[in-house]
Structure 1
Protein backbone atom coordinates (compact mmCIF):
# COMPACT_ATOMS: atom_id res chain seq x y z
CA UNK A 1 0.00 0.00 0.00
CA UNK A 2 2.99 2.29 0.42
CA UNK A 3 4.53 4.35 -2.36
CA UNK A 4 7.96 5.71 -3.28
CA UNK A 5 8.71 7.97 -6.25
CA UNK A 6 12.14 8.98 -7.54
CA UNK A 7 13.44 11.22 -10.35
CA UNK A 8 17.11 11.64 -11.26
CA UNK A 9 18.11 14.59 -13.42
CA UNK A 10 21.52 15.94 -14.39
CA UNK A 11 22.29 17.86 -11.20
CA UNK A 12 19.92 16.46 -8.56
CA UNK A 13 17.66 13.63 -7.42
CA UNK A 14 14.12 14.05 -6.08
CA UNK A 15 12.66 11.35 -3.84
CA UNK A 16 9.10 11.35 -2.51
CA UNK A 17 7.56 8.93 -0.01
CA UNK A 18 4.03 8.67 1.28
CA UNK A 19 3.63 9.37 4.99
CA UNK A 20 0.87 6.90 5.82
CA UNK A 21 1.40 4.31 8.54
CA UNK A 22 -1.38 1.72 8.41
CA UNK A 23 -2.00 -1.50 10.28
CA UNK A 24 -4.57 -3.84 8.74
CA UNK A 25 -7.58 -1.59 7.99
CA UNK A 26 -6.56 1.13 10.45
CA UNK A 27 -4.54 4.24 9.57
CA UNK A 28 -2.25 4.86 12.53
CA UNK A 29 -0.76 8.18 11.36
CA UNK A 30 -0.31 10.36 8.28
CA UNK A 31 3.04 11.97 9.12
CA UNK A 32 5.43 8.99 9.06
CA UNK A 33 8.93 9.77 7.78
CA UNK A 34 10.10 7.11 5.29
CA UNK A 35 13.09 9.11 4.00
CA UNK A 36 16.39 8.47 5.79
CA UNK A 37 19.58 10.47 5.51
CA UNK A 38 22.37 8.00 4.68
CA UNK A 39 25.17 10.55 4.28
CA UNK A 40 25.51 14.25 3.52
CA UNK A 41 24.57 13.63 -0.11
CA UNK A 42 22.52 10.43 -0.01
CA UNK A 43 18.89 9.72 0.88
CA UNK A 44 17.11 6.39 1.16
CA UNK A 45 13.37 6.09 0.73
CA UNK A 46 12.25 2.81 2.26
CA UNK A 47 8.94 0.99 2.64
CA UNK A 48 7.90 -2.37 4.05
CA UNK A 49 7.28 -3.78 7.50
CA UNK A 50 7.65 -0.88 9.93
CA UNK A 51 10.24 -2.54 12.14
CA UNK A 52 12.21 -3.90 9.21
CA UNK A 53 12.24 -0.56 7.38
CA UNK A 54 13.50 1.48 10.32
CA UNK A 55 16.02 -1.10 11.51
CA UNK A 56 17.50 -1.77 8.06
CA UNK A 57 17.73 1.91 7.11
CA UNK A 58 19.49 2.75 10.37
CA UNK A 59 21.80 -0.26 9.97
CA UNK A 60 22.88 0.91 6.51
CA UNK A 61 23.25 4.55 7.58
CA UNK A 62 25.38 3.71 10.65
CA UNK A 63 27.65 1.36 8.71
CA UNK A 64 28.21 3.93 5.97
CA UNK A 65 29.09 6.49 8.64
CA UNK A 66 31.45 3.94 10.23
CA UNK A 67 33.15 3.47 6.87
CA UNK A 68 33.63 7.24 6.63
CA UNK A 69 35.16 7.38 10.12
CA UNK A 70 37.55 4.53 9.37
CA UNK A 71 38.65 5.62 5.88
CA UNK A 72 38.09 9.39 6.08
CA UNK A 73 35.95 9.59 2.97
CA UNK A 74 32.35 8.74 2.12
CA UNK A 75 31.11 5.95 -0.07
CA UNK A 76 29.79 7.04 -3.45
CA UNK A 77 26.08 6.47 -4.15
CA UNK A 78 27.00 3.54 -6.41
CA UNK A 79 29.13 1.91 -3.70
CA UNK A 80 26.47 2.52 -1.04
CA UNK A 81 23.77 1.01 -3.27
CA UNK A 82 25.89 -2.07 -3.92
CA UNK A 83 26.61 -2.41 -0.20
CA UNK A 84 22.89 -2.10 0.57
CA UNK A 85 21.91 -4.68 -2.05
CA UNK A 86 24.58 -7.12 -0.84
CA UNK A 87 23.35 -6.92 2.75
CA UNK A 88 19.73 -7.28 1.72
CA UNK A 89 20.56 -10.33 -0.41
CA UNK A 90 22.55 -11.83 2.45
CA UNK A 91 19.71 -11.44 4.93
CA UNK A 92 17.29 -12.87 2.36
CA UNK A 93 19.22 -16.15 2.60
CA UNK A 94 19.14 -16.18 6.39
CA UNK A 95 16.44 -16.83 8.99
CA UNK A 96 15.81 -13.09 9.39
CA UNK A 97 15.13 -11.53 5.95
CA UNK A 98 14.20 -7.86 5.68
CA UNK A 99 10.95 -7.27 3.77
CA UNK A 100 11.76 -3.80 2.48
CA UNK A 101 11.84 -1.92 -0.83
CA UNK A 102 14.08 1.07 -1.42
CA UNK A 103 15.00 3.96 -3.65
CA UNK A 104 18.48 5.28 -2.95
CA UNK A 105 19.34 8.66 -4.40
CA UNK A 106 22.57 10.59 -4.15
CA UNK A 107 24.95 13.05 -5.74
CA UNK A 108 28.53 12.19 -6.65
CA UNK A 109 30.79 15.15 -7.58
CA UNK A 110 32.45 12.99 -10.24
CA UNK A 111 29.45 11.31 -11.85
CA UNK A 112 26.54 13.58 -10.92
CA UNK A 113 23.15 12.45 -9.66
CA UNK A 114 22.30 8.77 -9.28
CA UNK A 115 19.10 6.88 -8.42
CA UNK A 116 19.02 3.17 -7.54
CA UNK A 117 16.03 0.83 -7.36
CA UNK A 118 16.39 -1.99 -4.82
CA UNK A 119 13.61 -4.40 -3.82
CA UNK A 120 13.14 -6.99 -1.09
CA UNK A 121 14.53 -9.76 -3.32
CA UNK A 122 17.81 -7.93 -3.81
CA UNK A 123 17.02 -6.74 -7.34
CA UNK A 124 19.16 -3.74 -8.16
CA UNK A 125 19.18 -1.23 -11.01
CA UNK A 126 20.35 2.31 -11.70
CA UNK A 127 17.49 4.28 -13.27
CA UNK A 128 16.47 7.79 -14.29
CA UNK A 129 13.08 7.40 -12.63
CA UNK A 130 11.61 4.67 -10.45
CA UNK A 131 8.70 3.79 -8.19
CA UNK A 132 7.68 1.28 -5.56
CA UNK A 133 4.15 0.36 -4.54
CA UNK A 134 0.72 0.37 -6.16
CA UNK A 135 0.88 4.13 -6.70
CA UNK A 136 3.75 3.61 -9.08
CA UNK A 137 1.41 1.91 -11.57
CA UNK A 138 -0.10 5.33 -12.31
CA UNK A 139 3.21 7.21 -12.37
CA UNK A 140 5.59 5.40 -14.71
CA UNK A 141 3.87 6.71 -17.83
CA UNK A 142 3.85 10.26 -16.47
CA UNK A 143 7.54 10.09 -15.56
CA UNK A 144 8.43 8.56 -18.92
CA UNK A 145 6.65 11.38 -20.73
CA UNK A 146 7.91 14.35 -18.72
CA UNK A 147 11.35 13.30 -17.50
CA UNK A 148 14.33 15.09 -19.05
CA UNK A 149 17.91 15.20 -17.86
CA UNK A 150 17.97 19.00 -17.95
CA UNK A 151 14.88 19.61 -15.79
CA UNK A 152 15.19 22.18 -13.02
CA UNK A 153 14.22 21.30 -9.46
CA UNK A 154 10.95 23.19 -9.83
CA UNK A 155 10.11 21.40 -13.09
CA UNK A 156 10.87 17.98 -11.59
CA UNK A 157 8.77 18.88 -8.55
CA UNK A 158 5.87 19.64 -10.92
CA UNK A 159 6.28 16.16 -12.47
CA UNK A 160 5.98 14.62 -9.00
CA UNK A 161 2.91 16.78 -8.43
CA UNK A 162 1.31 15.26 -11.51
CA UNK A 163 2.15 11.79 -10.22
CA UNK A 164 0.71 12.36 -6.76
CA UNK A 165 -2.39 13.97 -8.21
CA UNK A 166 -2.96 10.86 -10.33
CA UNK A 167 -2.46 8.63 -7.28
CA UNK A 168 -5.05 10.63 -5.37
CA UNK A 169 -7.45 10.38 -8.31
CA UNK A 170 -7.00 6.74 -9.34
CA UNK A 171 -5.79 4.70 -6.37
CA UNK A 172 -8.42 3.26 -4.07
CA UNK A 173 -5.99 3.39 -1.15
CA UNK A 174 -5.80 6.79 0.55
CA UNK A 175 -2.25 8.22 0.55
CA UNK A 176 -2.87 11.90 1.36
CA UNK A 177 0.64 13.15 2.15
CA UNK A 178 4.02 12.73 0.46
CA UNK A 179 7.30 14.00 1.87
CA UNK A 180 9.76 15.23 -0.76
CA UNK A 181 13.53 15.71 -0.52
CA UNK A 182 16.09 16.87 -3.08
CA UNK A 183 19.74 15.79 -3.12
CA UNK A 184 22.30 17.84 -5.04
CA UNK A 185 25.83 19.23 -4.72
CA UNK A 186 24.69 21.36 -1.78
CA UNK A 187 23.41 18.39 0.21
CA UNK A 188 19.90 17.36 1.23
CA UNK A 189 16.94 19.63 1.74
CA UNK A 190 13.18 19.27 2.17
CA UNK A 191 10.70 20.59 -0.36
CA UNK A 192 7.06 21.36 0.37
CA UNK A 193 5.11 18.16 1.09
CA UNK A 194 2.74 17.02 -1.63
CA UNK A 195 -0.78 16.93 -0.20
CA UNK A 196 -4.29 16.75 -1.62
CA UNK A 197 -4.51 20.52 -1.17
CA UNK A 198 -1.36 21.64 -2.96
CA UNK A 199 -1.50 19.19 -5.89
CA UNK A 200 -5.05 20.19 -6.86
CA UNK A 201 -3.71 23.16 -8.84
CA UNK A 202 -1.94 20.91 -11.35
CA UNK A 203 -3.61 21.22 -14.73
CA UNK A 204 -5.27 18.17 -16.18
CA UNK A 205 -3.96 19.14 -19.59
CA UNK A 206 -1.20 16.84 -20.87
Structure 2
Protein backbone atom coordinates (compact mmCIF):
# COMPACT_ATOMS: atom_id res chain seq x y z
CA UNK A 1 0.00 0.00 0.00
CA UNK A 2 2.66 2.46 -1.05
CA UNK A 3 2.06 6.18 -1.38
CA UNK A 4 4.12 9.15 -2.52
CA UNK A 5 2.72 12.60 -3.19
CA UNK A 6 3.99 16.14 -3.64
CA UNK A 7 3.05 19.72 -4.39
CA UNK A 8 4.56 23.08 -5.33
CA UNK A 9 4.12 26.08 -3.04
CA UNK A 10 5.37 29.63 -2.87
CA UNK A 11 9.12 29.26 -3.38
CA UNK A 12 9.36 25.58 -2.49
CA UNK A 13 8.32 22.05 -3.45
CA UNK A 14 7.30 19.39 -0.95
CA UNK A 15 7.40 15.59 -1.31
CA UNK A 16 5.88 13.06 1.09
CA UNK A 17 6.28 9.26 1.06
CA UNK A 18 5.41 6.34 3.29
CA UNK A 19 8.32 4.53 4.94
CA UNK A 20 7.12 0.91 4.83
CA UNK A 21 9.15 -1.80 3.10
CA UNK A 22 6.77 -4.70 2.48
CA UNK A 23 6.72 -7.98 0.60
CA UNK A 24 3.41 -9.77 0.20
CA UNK A 25 1.89 -9.92 3.71
CA UNK A 26 5.17 -9.13 5.53
CA UNK A 27 6.43 -5.76 6.72
CA UNK A 28 10.22 -5.84 6.68
CA UNK A 29 10.80 -2.34 8.05
CA UNK A 30 8.86 0.83 8.74
CA UNK A 31 11.63 3.43 8.40
CA UNK A 32 12.55 3.07 4.71
CA UNK A 33 13.35 6.48 3.19
CA UNK A 34 11.78 6.50 -0.29
CA UNK A 35 12.72 10.10 -1.13
CA UNK A 36 16.22 10.27 -2.63
CA UNK A 37 18.21 13.51 -2.36
CA UNK A 38 19.67 13.74 -5.88
CA UNK A 39 21.81 16.81 -5.20
CA UNK A 40 21.70 20.00 -3.14
CA UNK A 41 18.43 21.19 -4.73
CA UNK A 42 16.60 18.09 -6.01
CA UNK A 43 14.42 15.37 -4.49
CA UNK A 44 13.22 12.14 -6.09
CA UNK A 45 10.25 10.43 -4.46
CA UNK A 46 9.67 6.88 -5.70
CA UNK A 47 7.14 4.07 -5.40
CA UNK A 48 7.17 0.62 -6.93
CA UNK A 49 8.96 -2.69 -6.58
CA UNK A 50 11.61 -2.39 -3.86
CA UNK A 51 14.54 -3.61 -5.96
CA UNK A 52 13.68 -1.42 -8.95
CA UNK A 53 13.01 1.58 -6.75
CA UNK A 54 16.33 1.41 -4.91
CA UNK A 55 18.44 0.50 -7.93
CA UNK A 56 16.93 3.06 -10.30
CA UNK A 57 16.92 6.01 -7.89
CA UNK A 58 20.56 5.33 -6.96
CA UNK A 59 21.42 5.08 -10.66
CA UNK A 60 19.83 8.49 -11.33
CA UNK A 61 21.53 10.04 -8.30
CA UNK A 62 24.98 8.85 -9.36
CA UNK A 63 24.51 10.04 -12.95
CA UNK A 64 23.33 13.48 -11.81
CA UNK A 65 26.47 13.68 -9.65
CA UNK A 66 28.63 12.47 -12.55
CA UNK A 67 27.27 15.20 -14.84
CA UNK A 68 28.07 17.87 -12.25
CA UNK A 69 31.56 16.41 -11.72
CA UNK A 70 32.32 16.36 -15.45
CA UNK A 71 30.85 19.74 -16.35
CA UNK A 72 31.26 21.79 -13.21
CA UNK A 73 27.58 22.80 -13.11
CA UNK A 74 24.54 20.88 -11.86
CA UNK A 75 21.67 19.75 -14.05
CA UNK A 76 18.56 21.90 -13.92
CA UNK A 77 15.43 20.24 -12.60
CA UNK A 78 13.87 19.97 -16.06
CA UNK A 79 17.09 18.49 -17.45
CA UNK A 80 17.21 15.90 -14.64
CA UNK A 81 13.56 15.05 -15.29
CA UNK A 82 14.18 14.55 -19.01
CA UNK A 83 17.27 12.44 -18.32
CA UNK A 84 15.26 10.26 -15.93
CA UNK A 85 12.47 9.91 -18.47
CA UNK A 86 14.99 8.95 -21.16
CA UNK A 87 16.48 6.20 -19.00
CA UNK A 88 13.03 4.78 -18.26
CA UNK A 89 12.12 4.91 -21.95
CA UNK A 90 15.31 3.05 -22.88
CA UNK A 91 14.72 0.41 -20.21
CA UNK A 92 11.08 0.05 -21.28
CA UNK A 93 12.18 -1.72 -24.48
CA UNK A 94 14.70 -3.98 -22.71
CA UNK A 95 14.11 -4.69 -19.04
CA UNK A 96 11.59 -2.16 -17.68
CA UNK A 97 11.71 -0.71 -14.18
CA UNK A 98 8.50 -0.98 -12.16
CA UNK A 99 8.88 2.44 -10.56
CA UNK A 100 6.88 5.68 -10.48
CA UNK A 101 8.59 8.96 -9.62
CA UNK A 102 7.95 12.51 -8.44
CA UNK A 103 10.98 14.73 -9.07
CA UNK A 104 11.04 18.04 -7.21
CA UNK A 105 13.68 20.72 -7.50
CA UNK A 106 14.54 24.39 -7.14
CA UNK A 107 16.39 26.47 -9.72
CA UNK A 108 17.51 30.09 -9.29
CA UNK A 109 16.08 31.12 -12.66
CA UNK A 110 12.72 29.31 -12.58
CA UNK A 111 12.08 28.61 -8.91
CA UNK A 112 10.47 25.39 -7.62
CA UNK A 113 9.05 22.71 -9.91
CA UNK A 114 7.59 19.21 -9.70
CA UNK A 115 7.63 16.52 -12.39
CA UNK A 116 5.50 13.39 -12.74
CA UNK A 117 7.34 10.42 -14.28
CA UNK A 118 5.65 7.03 -14.41
CA UNK A 119 6.95 3.55 -15.22
CA UNK A 120 6.14 3.85 -18.95
CA UNK A 121 8.23 7.05 -19.21
CA UNK A 122 5.42 9.60 -19.19
CA UNK A 123 6.70 13.03 -18.15
CA UNK A 124 4.59 15.99 -17.07
CA UNK A 125 5.28 19.15 -15.12
CA UNK A 126 2.63 19.44 -12.43
CA UNK A 127 1.64 21.51 -9.39
CA UNK A 128 0.50 18.48 -7.38
CA UNK A 129 0.60 14.74 -7.91
CA UNK A 130 0.62 11.32 -6.28
CA UNK A 131 1.32 7.63 -6.88
CA UNK A 132 0.23 4.46 -5.10
CA UNK A 133 -2.99 3.37 -3.44
CA UNK A 134 -2.86 6.43 -1.20
CA UNK A 135 -3.17 8.62 -4.29
CA UNK A 136 -6.93 7.99 -4.36
CA UNK A 137 -7.27 9.99 -1.17
CA UNK A 138 -4.30 12.37 -1.32
CA UNK A 139 -5.29 13.60 -4.80
CA UNK A 140 -8.86 14.17 -3.62
CA UNK A 141 -7.63 16.16 -0.59
CA UNK A 142 -5.26 18.21 -2.73
CA UNK A 143 -7.97 18.90 -5.32
CA UNK A 144 -10.07 20.37 -2.55
CA UNK A 145 -7.49 22.23 -0.46
CA UNK A 146 -4.54 22.99 -2.76
CA UNK A 147 -4.09 26.48 -4.16
CA UNK A 148 -1.19 28.17 -5.89
CA UNK A 149 1.20 30.13 -3.71
CA UNK A 150 0.73 28.04 -0.57
CA UNK A 151 3.02 28.78 2.36
CA UNK A 152 5.17 26.07 3.93
CA UNK A 153 2.85 25.91 6.92
CA UNK A 154 -0.25 25.52 4.72
CA UNK A 155 1.47 22.85 2.58
CA UNK A 156 2.54 20.82 5.62
CA UNK A 157 -0.98 21.08 7.07
CA UNK A 158 -2.35 19.77 3.78
CA UNK A 159 0.20 16.96 3.78
CA UNK A 160 -0.91 16.02 7.30
CA UNK A 161 -4.54 15.97 6.15
CA UNK A 162 -3.57 13.62 3.32
CA UNK A 163 -1.66 11.37 5.71
CA UNK A 164 -4.59 11.19 8.15
CA UNK A 165 -6.99 10.40 5.30
CA UNK A 166 -4.74 7.61 4.02
CA UNK A 167 -4.38 6.13 7.50
CA UNK A 168 -8.12 6.18 8.11
CA UNK A 169 -9.35 4.98 4.68
CA UNK A 170 -6.91 2.31 3.49
CA UNK A 171 -7.49 -1.24 4.74
CA UNK A 172 -3.74 -1.75 5.15
CA UNK A 173 -2.36 1.73 5.62
CA UNK A 174 1.34 2.58 6.06
CA UNK A 175 1.82 3.94 9.60
CA UNK A 176 4.80 6.24 9.07
CA UNK A 177 5.62 8.98 6.56
CA UNK A 178 8.55 11.27 5.80
CA UNK A 179 8.16 14.85 4.55
CA UNK A 180 10.97 16.52 2.60
CA UNK A 181 11.20 20.01 1.18
CA UNK A 182 13.37 21.77 -1.41
CA UNK A 183 13.69 25.54 -1.74
CA UNK A 184 16.39 28.19 -2.21
CA UNK A 185 18.13 26.87 0.92
CA UNK A 186 18.41 23.35 -0.50
CA UNK A 187 16.82 19.91 -0.21
CA UNK A 188 16.29 18.56 3.29
CA UNK A 189 14.11 16.43 5.55
CA UNK A 190 11.36 18.54 7.08
CA UNK A 191 9.68 16.06 9.41
CA UNK A 192 8.73 12.44 10.10
CA UNK A 193 5.12 11.52 10.84
CA UNK A 194 4.95 8.41 13.00
CA UNK A 195 1.79 6.63 14.14
CA UNK A 196 0.95 6.75 17.82
CA UNK A 197 0.79 3.29 19.33
CA UNK A 198 -1.91 2.51 21.86
CA UNK A 199 -0.14 2.61 25.22
CA UNK A 200 -3.18 1.19 27.01
CA UNK A 201 -2.76 -2.27 25.45
CA UNK A 202 -1.16 -4.47 28.13
CA UNK A 203 2.04 -6.27 27.22
CA UNK A 204 2.22 -10.06 27.41
CA UNK A 205 4.42 -11.13 30.30
Could you list the per-position Cα deviations for residues 13-52 of structure 1 after superposition, in whole angstroms to 9, with x for gaps in the alignment? 1101100011111111110110111111000011111111
Instruction: Give the Cα separation in 1 of the matches to 2:64 and 2:189.
Output: 22
1:78-117 correspondence runs (5 A): 78-94=78-94, 96-117=95-116
**How far is 1:10 from its partner?**
2.7
Matched, 1:77 2:86: no
Aligned-residue RMSD, C-alpha: 1.0
The equivalent of 1:42 in structure 2 is 42
Instruction: Give the Cα separation in 1 of the matches to 2:177 and 2:138.
Output: 14
Considering only CA atoms, is the larger Rg found in Structure 1 or Structure 2? 2
**8 Å CA contact 1:101, 1:132 repeated in 2:** yes
Query: How high is the TM-score relative to the length of structure 2?
Result: 0.93
**8 Å CA contact 1:138, 1:167 repeated in 2:** yes
**8 Å CA contact 1:91, 1:97 repeated in 2:** yes
Instruction: Give the Cα separation in 2 of the matches to 1:189 and 1:75.
Output: 18
Matched, 1:145 2:144: yes
**8 Å CA contact 1:10, 1:112 repeated in 2:** no
Structure 2: unaligned runs, 5 residues or longer = 197-205
**How far is 1:99 from its partner?**
0.8
Structure 1: unaligned runs, 5 residues or longer = 198-206
Instruction: Give the Cα separation in 1 of the matches to 2:93 and 2:10.
Output: 36
Could you list the per-position Cα deviations for residues 32-90 of structure 1 after superposition, in whole angstroms to 9, with x for gaps in the alignment? 11011111100001111111111111111111111111111111111100100010010
Instruction: Give the Cα separation in 1 of the matches to 2:90 and 2:64.
Output: 17
The equivalent of 2:134 in structure 1 is 135
SS at match of 2:148: coil
Equivalent residue pairs, number: 196
**How far is 1:145 from its partner?**
2.0
Could you list the per-position Cα deviations for residues 141-175 of structure 1 after superposition, in whole angstroms to 9, with x for gaps in the alignment? 21122222221111100000000000011111221
Could you list the per-position Cα deviations for residues 90-148 of structure 1 after superposition, in whole angstroms to 9, with x for gaps in the alignment? 00101x21111110000011111100111111111111000000101011121122222
The equivalent of 2:163 in structure 1 is 164
**Structure 1 residue ranges, 4+ long, deviating more than 6 angstroms after superposition:** none
**8 Å CA contact 1:180, 1:192 repeated in 2:** yes
